[in-house]
Structure 1
Amino acid sequence: MAQKTDRGRADEREEGNETAQERADRIVVSYPEDLSDWGRFQVEKPSFVAFLLKTRDRASEGDVWEEFVDVGCCGSTLDVPLRVERIEGGSVIDEETDLTYEVREACGIEGSWQVQSEGGPKQA
């Protein structure tokens, strides 16, 4: 029984080393320049970054993640296209991965948290 337990620990160490070698140390994700201040606030919140790290297993440069952003009390919904710009290390995402943002060119995104106002997102 002890041998089985020891072998199991050796397997865990080997798997742990493999995962550590494949882990992305840092991922740089961009959002469009025309994302509103409210939208930037939403995607840069620590809770949203934690959500991304928990819901993504892997990343590759050029991946685009269409992410729903909180609507506030009664505003319109907003999907933000986040693009993976660079990855340092491997492609596996875990809680140790550092996710940072940069701004890219505008893409015509419409949205802000201006509840029921003319300046808010246009409905198609």
Structure 2
Amino acid sequence: MAPESTRSSAELEESANATLSEPAERVVVSYPSDLSDWGRFQVEKPSFRAFLRKTRDAAEEGDIWEEFVGVGCCGNTLDVPLRVEAVEGGERVGDDTEIDYEVREACGIQGSWRVQSKGGPSQG
């Protein structure tokens, strides 16, 4: 392969496209520490990880994904801001991309979850 400085623009574009088409091996996503136990249970389920793989084409460190988590008995919804903390491998989210979670600082998440969580969406 030619050094980048001597490669044509077509070769550089082909190389960039090849990198983008590579699926990431692992994506680390964080949720806020004030997400309730119920909310954590929802986002950490295998089915939610599968949902992220199906609905996200790419991941880049720092991306914020506002994700709908569920509807409570009172009809209230909970949207959780997930932040991409790290991407290992390619930039595309694929069927085999491992999704792992971390907990980050609280963000004052609210959602009126009186039924699923004690006193609302926040722990405590």
Specify if TM > 0.5: yes
Larger proportion of helix: 1
Equivalences, count: 104
Percent of aligned pairs sharing the same letter = 73
- State the partner residue of 2:115: 115
Find the aligned partners of 1:32 and 1:47 in 2 and give their Cα distance.
Answer: 20
Alpha-carbon spacing, 1:110–1:51, altered in 2? closer, same or farther (3 Å): same
Give unpaired runs (5+ residues) of structure 2.
Answer: 1-17
| Higher Rg | 1
- State the partner residue of 1:30: 30
3-state SS of 2:53 partner: helix
Note the 1:59-74 alignment, pairs <5 A.
59-74=59-74
For the aligned residue pairs, the C-alpha RMSD in angstroms reads: 2.5
Find the aligned partners of 1:117 and 1:23 in 2 and give their Cα distance.
Answer: 36
Give unpaired runs (5+ residues) of structure 1.
Answer: 1-17
Q: TM-score, normalised by structure 1?
A: 0.74
Find the aligned partners of 2:101 and 2:66 in 1 and give their Cα distance.
Answer: 15
Residues 30-65 of structure 1: per-residue CA shift (max 9 Å, x gap)? 000000101101100111110010000111000000
Alpha-carbon spacing, 1:87–1:111, altered in 2? closer, same or farther (3 Å): same
2:58 alignment partner AA: R
Flag as ranges the 4+ runs of structure 1 deviating above 6 A. Answer: none
- State the partner residue of 1:42: 42
3-state SS of 1:54 partner: helix
